[in-house]
Chain A
C-alpha cells in the first residue's frame, strides 16, 4: 500500500501558484519524499525530492514539515502544460510505492 495520502483532484488558475499537499505520517527517518508527474499516460517525469530540508529547483519547490509527516509541492507560476497527475511517493531503498496521485487541472 502507498505510504502517502493526496487529494484526488485540484484546480488552479493559470499564472497562479499551485500548492499540492501530501500526507506521509508513517515515513521513516531515512526515507525520502519524491514527487513525479505524469502527463496523459506518458512516462512519469521526476520533479523534485527531499529528506527534511526544503528544496527548490527550476521546476518546483518542496516544503517538508518539521515532523516530516507532510509536505507541499509548489509550482510557482502554473501554466496549462502543468496539467497532469502528480504523485507524492516515499522512497524506501529501491522501492517506489505509487498511490493514485492528484489530478491537477490548470484553468485559463
Chain B
C-alpha cells in the first residue's frame, strides 16, 4: 500500500513569491492535515481538510491557504513568502479525524 506522497521534495523561492505544495493521501483516507516544522523545532498545525472542506486551521495568517480535491488530494498555497516561511512542510492523512495520522516525507521550502 502506497503511503502519503508529497511534491516537490525541495523548493527554493524568493521573498514575495507564491508557492504551491501538493499532497496525495493514503488510498481510502479522507482527512488531510498540513503541518509546518521550522528547523530544529516541533511541528505546528496548519490546516485540516476532510471531505473537501476546510475543518480547522492553526494560528497562521490568511496567506496560508489550501484546498482538498474530490480525490482527497490536497494543495497548500503560501502567498507573499517571507523568510520565516522557510521550513519543512508535512502532510498527513487519516481515515477519519480521530484515527492515526500517517505522514509524508515533507517538502523542504527555502525562502531567500
Question: Which residues of A approach B to under 8 Å, CB–CB?
Answer: 2, 34, 36, 41-46, 49, 87, 91, 93-101
A-B contact count (CB 8 A): 50
| Pair B101/A46 contact, Cβ less than 8 Å | yes
| Pair A44/B55 contact, Cβ less than 8 Å | no
B25 CB to closest chain A CB, in angstroms?
13
In the assembled complex, B34 has its CB within 8 A of some CB on chain A: no
| Pair B43/A94 contact, Cβ less than 8 Å | no
| Pair A98/B88 contact, Cβ less than 8 Å | no
| Pair A34/B100 contact, Cβ less than 8 Å | yes
Contacts A42-B105, A42-B106, A44-B43 aside, 9 further interface pairs with beta carbons under 8 A come to A2-B42, A34-B100, A41-B108, A44-B90, A46-B100, A91-B98, A94-B33, A96-B45, A99-B42
Interface residue SS majority, chain B: strand
| Pair B100/A49 contact, Cβ less than 8 Å | yes
Residues of B within 8 A of A97 (CB): 45
Q: How far does the alpha carbon of A94 sit from the alpha carbon of B101 in the complex, in Å?
A: 9
Question: Which residues of B approach A to under 8 Å, CB–CB?
Answer: 4, 31, 33, 35, 37, 41-45, 48, 50, 55-56, 88, 90, 97-98, 100-106, 108
| Pair B106/A43 contact, Cβ less than 8 Å | yes
Q: How far does the alpha carbon of A51 sit from the alpha carbon of B101 in the complex, in Å?
A: 16
Residues of B within 8 A of A100 (CB): 41-42
Q: How far does the alpha carbon of A51 sit from the alpha carbon of B98 in the complex, in Å?
A: 13
| Pair B101/A96 contact, Cβ less than 8 Å | yes
| Pair A41/B56 contact, Cβ less than 8 Å | no
